[in-house]
């Protein structure tokens, strides 16, 4: 695949691996709304790590475009303000992910993201599934998160939406020192090799990029 840009080549490799591993292992779905969006959902907690490491190895240090990544729960989606969210998640109910309210002004966020994309940034989501979850629930959560993004930020054409099992190191998706992460979890920010920000000033930080 010599003519494709690196990220596309990596995506091709990843997609191929996902197809090979599909069935009990991996599920990979292209986002129906936007053909440029890569929607990757790893359902196999044991094998996902190997695939993620492979993905990182193929991409790190060679990607030209800087990427701005967003966590969802507690960063742009107010999951923890949904009444009864924890017992519902424990009962493998996806309702709290649907009910979560946006945490910043999404008209402004969408406008800024579209502008940054025109400036050459990639825009992505890296989100964990629920802490205690069956493979089926992981899958349902990933689909719900994807639908939430489509509902609340319909004009944003995500370059990648990645939902990984709870606890997966997000730094696996940091491909250059300029890559940005917005995340409410200190451990994710501390483990990030690029630039990591808490959730207090998302819009202001984006305006300054
Ligand atoms: Mg979070």
Instruction: Enumerate the domain spans of the chain.
Output: 64-208
Look at domain 64-208 and name its CATH class.
alpha beta
Residue 61 C-alpha to ligand 1 middle, in angstroms? 26
Residue 74 C-alpha to ligand 1 middle, in angstroms? 5
pLDDT in tens, the chain (209 residues): 334 455 554 554 454 444 333 333 333 333 333 344 555 555 455 555 556 665 655 555 445 678 999 999 999 999 999 999 999 999 999 999 999 999 999 999 999 999 999 999 999 999 998 888 888 888 889 889 999 999 999 999 988 888 887 887 888 788 788 899 999 999 999 999 999 999 999 999 999 99
Residue 79 C-alpha to ligand 1 middle, in angstroms? 9
State which residues have CB under 5 angstroms from ligand 1, the bound ion: 71, 73-74, 184
Contact 2, 12 (CB under 8 A): no
Residue 209 C-alpha to ligand 1 middle, in angstroms? 22
Report the C-alpha gap between 189 and 184 in whole angstroms.
8
Which residue from 43, 34, 46, 39 is spatially nearest to 14, judged by alpha carbons?
Answer: 39
pTM (two decimals): 0.76
């Amino acid at each position: 695949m010599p003519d494709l840009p690196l990220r596309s080549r990596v995506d091709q490799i990843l997609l191929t691996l996902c197809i090979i591993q599909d069935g009990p292992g991996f599920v990979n779905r292209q986002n129906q709304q936007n053909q440029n969006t890569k929607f990757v959902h790893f359902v196999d907690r044991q094998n996902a790590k190997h695939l993620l490491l492979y993905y990182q190895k193929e991409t790190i240090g060679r990607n030209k475009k800087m990427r701005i990544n967003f966590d969802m729960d507690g960063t742009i989606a107010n999951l923890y303000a949904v009444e009864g969210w924890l017992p519902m998640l424990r009962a493998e109910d996806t309702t709290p992910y649907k009910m979560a309210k946006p945490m910043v002004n999404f008209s402004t966020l969408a406008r800024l993201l579209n502008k940054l994309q025109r400036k050459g940034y990639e825009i992505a989501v890296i989100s964990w599934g629920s802490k205690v979850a069956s493979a089926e629930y992981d899958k349902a959560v990933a689909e719900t998160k994807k639908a939430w993004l489509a509902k609340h930020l319909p004009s944003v054409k995500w370059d990648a939406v990645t939902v990984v099992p709870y606890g997966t190191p997000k730094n696996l998706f940091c491909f250059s020192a300029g890559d940005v992460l917005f995340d409410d979890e200190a451990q994710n920010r501390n483990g990030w090799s690029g630039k990591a920000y808490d959730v207090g000033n998302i819009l202001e930080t984006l305006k300054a990029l």
